[in-house]
Structure 1
């Protein structure tokens, strides 16, 4: 097996963050429907959503925020490195 390059790690991080965005968005939609159902009196899984908040949704939000920051810093460093390399070649 070939070792992973920097671009492979970046691609993996981007795919992972995309999956987390969909998980967080689905959790938000579920939350909105379950709260609405709880007010109306229709059980749509609000209690289950609350039980999943700490072990699933809260870590997903934290990882998503940290990953977004890491991805931004990574892009900034790549741009800075390529700019320095261009100046050295001239």
Structure 2
């Protein structure tokens, strides 16, 4: 059995933590909007201050990881097709 690559293990953990951060941010936003309707301004104000430095990069990282994963999967599926075509 192969020993897992420490870089891949670290990257996987980072991406899992990032997914949970984005989910938590979405729940916080929904709660903050609900509280805003009741004239409680603090949670939405804090969310807005954290949007640029924390949540925007987290969402960008999540989207980039999804696109890279999809591209990598496509490339791996494409490989056997290219090998089969070159043998004929």
- Whole-angstrom distance in 1 between the partners of 2:47 and 2:18: 17
Higher RCO by CA contacts (8 Å cutoff, separation 6 or greater): 1
Q: Where does the alignment leave 5 or more consecutive residues of structure 2 unmatched?
A: none
- The reply on whether 1:51 has 2:49 as its aligned counterpart is yes
Count of aligned pairs = 85
- Whole-angstrom distance in 2 between the partners of 1:75 and 1:15: 20
Using the size of structure 1 for normalisation, the TM-score is 0.72
Q: Which runs of 4+ in 1 moved over 6 A?
A: none
Q: Where does the alignment leave 5 or more consecutive residues of structure 1 unmatched?
A: none
CA RMSD of the aligned region, Å?
A: 3.0
